Amino acid sequence: MQIIQAYQCFCDETRLRILNLLLEGPLCVCHLTSILGVPQPKVSRHLKALRDGGALETERCYNWTICRLPATPSPLLEANLKCLQDLRAEEPCFKVDLETRKRTVARILRDPCDDLPAQIRSLAKDCC
Amino acid sequence: MQIIQAYQCFCDETRLRILNLLLEGPLCVCHLTSILGVPQPKVSRHLKALRDGGALETERCYNWTICRLPATPSPLLEANLKCLQDLRAEEPCFKVDLETRKRTVARILRDPCDDLPAQIRSLAKDCC
DNA sequence: GTCGAATATTCGCTTGACAGCATATTCGAT
DNA sequence: ATCGAATATGCTGTCAAGCGAATATTCGAC
Burial of A16 (C-beta count, 10 Å sphere; 0-12/13-18/19+): buried
- How many residues comprise chain A? 128
Question: Is B106 touching A (CB cutoff 8 A)?
Answer: no
Distance A50 CA to D1 C1' (A): 38
Q: What is the pLDDT of residue A62?
A: 84
Beta strands per DSSP E along A9-86 = 27-28, 57-61, 64-68
Q: What is the pLDDT of residue A110?
A: 74
User: Which residues touch B89 (CB under 8 Å, ≥6 apart)?
Assistant: B95
- What is the rounded average pLDDT of the residues B16-39? 95
Beta strands per DSSP E along A12-73 = 27-28, 57-61, 64-68
Q: B83, B87, B96: which to substitute to probe chain A, counting the most A Cβ within 10 Å?
A: B83
Distance from CA of B89 to the nearest CA of A (A): 13
CATH architecture of A2-127: Orthogonal Bundle (1.10)
Q: What is the pLDDT of residue A125?
A: 53
Mean pLDDT, all residues of chain B: 88
Mean pLDDT, all residues of chain A: 88
Backbone angles phi, psi at B58, to 5 degrees: -125, 150
| Better-scored residue on pLDDT, A23 or A117 | A23
Which residues of chain A make contact with B83, given a CB cutoff of 8 A? 75-76, 79
| Reported confidence tier of residue A10, pLDDT bands at 50, 70, 90 | very high
Q: What is the pLDDT of residue B121?
A: 53
Answer whether CATH 1.20.1260.10 is correct for domain B2-123: no
The pLDDT > 70 percentage for chain B reads: 86
| Reported confidence tier of residue A127, pLDDT bands at 50, 70, 90 | very low
Q: What is the pLDDT of residue B62?
A: 84
Tell how far CA A72 is from the center of its chain.
Answer: 16
